[in-house]
Amino acid sequence: MSTNAALDASSTFSGALSSLAAPPEVVAAAREHLRALLRLDTTNPPGNEGPAVEYLARVLDDAGLSPQVLTSPGGRPNLVARLAGTGARRPLLLHAHLDVVEADPREWRHPPFGAVEAEGCLWGRGAIDMKNMAAMGAAILVGFKKAGVQPARDIIFAAVADEEAGCTEGSGFLAEKHPELVAAEVALGEGGGFSVELSGRRFYPIMSAEKGLVWLRLVAEGPSGHGSMPLGEGSAVATLSRALAALTSTRLPPHRTETAERFIRALADHSPLPASAVLRLVLQPRLRDLVLDRLFPDPALARPFAAILANTASPTVLRAGSKTNVIPSRAECEVDGRTLPGQTTEDFIREVEAVVGPGIRFEVIQAAAPLEASTETPLFRHLAATIRRHDPEGIPVPYLCPGFTDAKSWARLGTTCYGFLPLRLPASIKFADMFHGKDERIPLEGLDWGTRVLWDALLGA
């Protein structure tokens, strides 16, 4: 059979499969798996992903999927399982990380590891970021296996550790030490597929690009002394404080990227006046700050929009001194830096230096390059079409994710990565507020919708 004939045959086969709706037991299983995973505290550090990996391994092993557990040198377990396809197309990697960021129970309305069901939602750290993908992925693979479904591609399912601390013990370890298990043509993970309400319209960003990572340590040094005799502006603490005051009050310069521009123009094309005009204005470098600070149609969205138009720098960890009566000779701050496609670590440091001024030394803690994939691919078009089938009023758009994901690791293997974690949210719940925020929760109806969409997407991929 010729290559073209094989592709035509696989397209026909995939089209027939895509008409098979997700069975109710698969949708129910995704809920069950998410409840179980949310009850496991996998806060990173230290991670403790072991119980979550063990749970998923039992689920997949019981269905005959023969999962493999691979432990990093740091003792962090990762799970990989594969559902065989026809081989008409190269494999697809479906990935989710099992670690979560910290959650202070005093700030939450329900315990962050209680998996409480209330107000139509399932509450817990990881409900959005991103144990929901692990739950849906496991439920769908088991559903495919039980139904005898054989898609056009092998589907590789990876549930990994350590994404929240830089991916070293998770996807980075798998990509470096076990590439034969996770190598794929395309990968689907976090960073897109969720609904966003803007000016009365419902959009579904599909991540085709993500920012790079530059974690910096800013260091100021000065004379030490007794706390009873202030050193004034010459102290290390004072120098660092001035630098951070400037950094937190100044946006870094805007830069054009194809993905962010396409995203914003698509929103403008489908929004009524005056929102459409304001969205187009935010792409003008000289007007960016005015639009974001005073004119933006939804002030709650101004912050994530600002993050896709420029490199960003967020001070996160401060250290200085160890005794109240001693003026320290060193003060330091860790800065979470994110870089746009086309920008380098050196570009980012120059921009930060220009803001903070003299007297600060820079140390690079960790860095990873930004990613940008084409949206002119059959898979991207398929993902967009799948969204439209399940929500005819929804508008899928390409998206630049301001954070980083495990896609950084998979891309090193030549994999094209998209963020597609489908989820339909009511207008009252903002995705950006749930991500690393307090009271993280997922609407159960939105989870059910996402499971059906992901089932459909994987069948036809």
Q: Is 446 exposed, middle or buried (0-12, 13-18, 19+ CB in 10 A)?
A: buried
The two tokens of residue 12 are 């026909």
CA distances from 69 to 48, 97, 161, 178 (A): 14, 14, 11, 11
pTM comes to 0.90
pLDDT given for residue 288 in this prediction: 96
pLDDT given for residue 5 in this prediction: 32
- Say if CB 449 and CB 221 are below 8 A apart: no
pLDDT given for residue 199 in this prediction: 87
pLDDT given for residue 244 in this prediction: 98
**Residue 22 to residue 190: CA distance in whole angstroms:** 21
pLDDT given for residue 173 in this prediction: 98
CA distances from 332 to 17, 216, 324, 336, 444 (A): 56, 10, 17, 13, 43
pLDDT given for residue 427 in this prediction: 87
CATH number of 210-368: 3.30.70.360
Strands 361-368 and 212-221: antiparallel
> φ, ψ for residue 415 (rounded to 5)?
-85, 135
pLDDT given for residue 251 in this prediction: 97
Q: Which helix (H) or strand (E) holds 354?
A: helix 345-356
- Say if CB 101 and CB 113 are below 8 A apart: no
pLDDT given for residue 9 in this prediction: 31
pLDDT given for residue 1 in this prediction: 33
SS3 at position 93: strand
Q: For 3-195+374-460, which CATH class?
A: alpha beta
Q: Output the CA torsion sign for 106, 107, 113, 114.
A: positive
CA distances from 228 to 223, 324, 327, 328, 357 (A): 14, 10, 9, 13, 28
End-to-end CA distance of the chain: 21
Closest CA to 160 of 178, 148, 139, 142: 178
SS3 at position 63: coil
- Say if CB 164 and CB 44 are below 8 A apart: yes
Q: What are the residues facing 423 on neighbouring strands?
A: 194
Helix locations, 412-443, DSSP H: 431-434
pLDDT given for residue 300 in this prediction: 77
**Residue 352 to residue 252: CA distance in whole angstroms:** 8
- Say if CB 203 and CB 394 are below 8 A apart: yes
On the question of a common fold for 3-195+374-460 and 210-368, the answer reads: no
Average pLDDT for consecutive 10-residue bins of the chain (461 residues)? 31 45 97 98 98 98 98 98 97 98 97 98 97 98 96 97 95 98 98 92 97 97 96 94 98 97 96 94 96 87 93 98 97 98 98 97 96 96 97 97 95 98 92 88 98 97 94
Angle between helices 131-147 and 24-38 (to 10 degrees): 140
Q: What are the domain boundaries of the chain?
A: 3-195+374-460, 210-368
